[in-house]
Amino acid sequence: MRQYVAKRVVHAGFIMWLVATTVFFGLRMIPGGPVRTMLGQEATPQAVAALRAELGLDRPLYVQYFDWLLDMATLNFGQSLSTGQAVSTLVGQAAPKTLSIGVLAIIVGLGVAIPTGIISATRKGEGVDYVATVAAFLGVSMPAFFVGILLALVFGVWLSILPVFGYTPPSEGIRPWLESILLPGIAVGLPYAAVVMRMMRSSLLEVLTKPYMRTARAKGVSNRVMLYKHALQNAMIPVITVAGIQLALVLVGSVTVELVFGIQGLGRLLVDSMLDRNYPVTQAVILIVAAVMVFTNLAVDLIYTVIDPRIGYGDSQ
Model pLDDT for residues 101-127, shown as the tens digit of each residue:
989 999 999 999 999 999 998 888 888
Percentage with pLDDT > 90 across the chain: 26
Question: What is the pTM (predicted TM-score) of this model?
Answer: 0.82
Q: What is the mean pLDDT of residues 287-301?
A: 82
CATH of 92-307, one of 3.60.140.10, 3.40.50.300, 1.10.3720.10, 1.20.1530.20: 1.10.3720.10
With a cut of 70, say whether residue 64 has pLDDT above it: yes
pLDDT at 66: 92
Most confident of 31-35, 73-77, 175-179, 274-278: 175-179
d(CA 176, CA 188): 19
What contacts 187, CB < 8 A, 6 or more positions away?
144, 145, 147, 148, 151, 253, 257, 260
pLDDT at 309: 59
Handedness of CA 164, 170, 172, 178 (dihedral sign): positive
What rounded mean pLDDT belongs to the chain? 85
**139-162 per-position pLDDT tens digit:** 888 888 899 999 999 998 899 899
pLDDT band at 225 (very low <50, low <70, confident <90, very high): confident
